[in-house]
Amino acid sequence: MTDSPDVVIVGGGVVGCATAYFLTRDGYSVTLIERDSVASHASGFAYGGLSPIVGIIEDDPVLPLSEASEAIHAELAKRLPAESGVEYEYRRKTSLALATTPAQVDDLMEAYDWLKQHYKGVVQWHDEASVHALEPRVGPSVSAGLLADRSGEVEPYKFTLALWQAAERAGAVMRNAEVTGVTRAAGNISGVVLGSGEVIEAGAFVLAAGPWMGKATEWLGIDMPISPLKGQILRLKAPGDPLAVSLSWSHNYATTKPDGLLWCGTTEERVGFDETPTPYGRDTIMS
Ligand SMILES: Cc1cc2nc3c(=O)[nH]c(=O)nc-3n(C[C@H](O)[C@H](O)[C@H](O)COP(=O)(O)OP(=O)(O)OC[C@H]3O[C@@H](n4cnc5c(N)ncnc54)[C@H](O)[C@@H]3O)c2cc1C
């Protein structure tokens, strides 16, 4: 028991690696168990957009959480590259949400009225002419836009890797294995069972298995339906200058990343655990 870590984390995506980073910084011993490799699923292939206003509706309790996350990102950017040796391309970038239908204009205007009072940054309304002046390449169907100056971006794979590298440098240990269940003692979780049958005990456990959490909740006897939502992204060599702002419209978005490519997304597909890029994804995003 003396060799047991304080905390076992299951899953090496951004959630598991961030947990490992903050726990090791606070002096806890950590073992992270990942069956594939760090950021080998959604965390390594996401868009990496940090937006405190996407999806925000009036009185949404997510806004304070988003603003706190934004502050943590700004703070991390000052030290995590040096702590990890990984430059993960964090940067602040203005975002412009676009509306193409009267209903979307109404929704955006409602969001604008609310954000004017609550957003701790610059938020501006742009009519059709000023949207096209800001970014002449947006399509003719765009009739309004909402600009916010406090968005940001990271390269998602490098960001997750940076969190893990810094945690590892501070003493965290990675086990490459699949967790298949848990053990219990006196009514509490006392260990996780690996595919080999080995049990790793710890003082506390963090399950950060992303869309596989449905399986993990079965181990705990909790009925919590969790299923994956597939999204695809295109990285394009696009002609012309980089986009000056990052753009979003309904559940789509586009931005020029530091790699010089135009990253565009996305699809929302209920197809189970299928991570294959498809012609459907390409054609949907291009249309
Ligand atoms: C196309 C796309 C674009 C996105 N864009 C954004 C964006 O702009 N901004 C944003 O904030 N979010 C975005 N997201 C969402 C974001 O990527 C996810 O919310 C995030 O990566 C989830 O991280 P996670 O650590 O929970 O899960 P994951 O990255 O799925 O990691 C879970 C890990 O657990 C491991 N695991 C699972 N079960 C076990 C087991 N039994 N034993 C051992 N290991 C196990 C898996 O192998 C995996 O590595 C996007 C997602 C997609 C698909």
pLDDT of 192-219, one tens digit each? 999 999 999 999 999 999 999 999 999 9
**pLDDT of res. 1:** 44
Q: What percent of the chain has pLDDT above 90?
A: 82
How many domains, in total, are found in the chain? 2
252 lines ligand 1 (CB under 6 A): no
Q: Among the atoms of ligand 1, which is closest to the Cα of residue 209?
A: 34
152 lines ligand 1 (CB under 6 A): no
| Nearest protein CA to atom 33 of ligand 1, as residue | 11
Query: Mean per-residue pLDDT for 187-191?
Result: 95
Question: Using CA atoms, how far apart are residues 194 and 202, in angstroms rounded to an integer?
Answer: 14
212 lines ligand 1 (CB under 6 A): yes
ipTM of this complex: 0.99
Q: Taking each helix axis from N to C terminus, what angle separates 62-84 and 156-169, rounded to the nearest 10 degrees?
A: 60
The alpha carbon of 13 and the centre of ligand 1 are apart by a number of angstroms equal to 5
| Nearest protein CA to atom 8 of ligand 1, as residue | 49
Residue 171 C-alpha from the chain's centroid:
25
**Residues 257, 189 share a domain:** no
**Residues 166, 140 share a domain:** no
The alpha carbon of 137 and the centre of ligand 1 are apart by a number of angstroms equal to 32
Question: Using CA atoms, how far apart are residues 149 and 94, in angstroms rounded to an integer?
Answer: 4
Instruction: Give SS3 for 155.
Output: coil
pLDDT interval class at 64 (50, 70, 90): confident
| Nearest protein CA to atom 1 of ligand 1, as residue | 231
**Residues 190, 83 share a domain:** no
Last residue of a domain, one of 220, 238, 265: 220
DSSP state of 269: B
Last residue of a domain, one of 171, 201, 220: 220
The alpha carbon of 153 and the centre of ligand 1 are apart by a number of angstroms equal to 17
Within-domain flag for 103 = yes
**Residues 137, 54 share a domain:** yes
Q: Cite the beta strand spans of the chain per DSSP E.
A: 7-10, 30-34, 49-50, 91-99, 123-127, 144-153, 173-176, 179-185, 188-194, 199-201, 204-207, 233-236, 246-249, 252-256, 262-265
**pLDDT of res. 205:** 98
Within-domain flag for 2 = no
Q: What is the pLDDT of residues 3-18, one digit of tens each?
A: 899 999 999 999 999 9
pLDDT at 119 over 90: no
**pLDDT of res. 57:** 66
pLDDT interval class at 55 (50, 70, 90): low
**Residues 25, 66 share a domain:** no
**pLDDT of res. 2:** 52
Which of 35, 90, 161, 233 gets mutated to test ligand 1 (max ligand atoms within 8 A of its CB)? 35
46 lines ligand 1 (CB under 6 A): yes
Q: What is the pLDDT of residues 209-252, one digit of tens each?
A: 999 999 999 999 998 999 999 999 999 999 999 998 999 998 89
Q: What is the pLDDT of residues 67-106, one digit of tens each?
A: 889 999 999 999 999 999 999 999 999 999 999 999 999 9
Domain extent for 109: 49-154+229-286
**pLDDT of res. 54:** 65
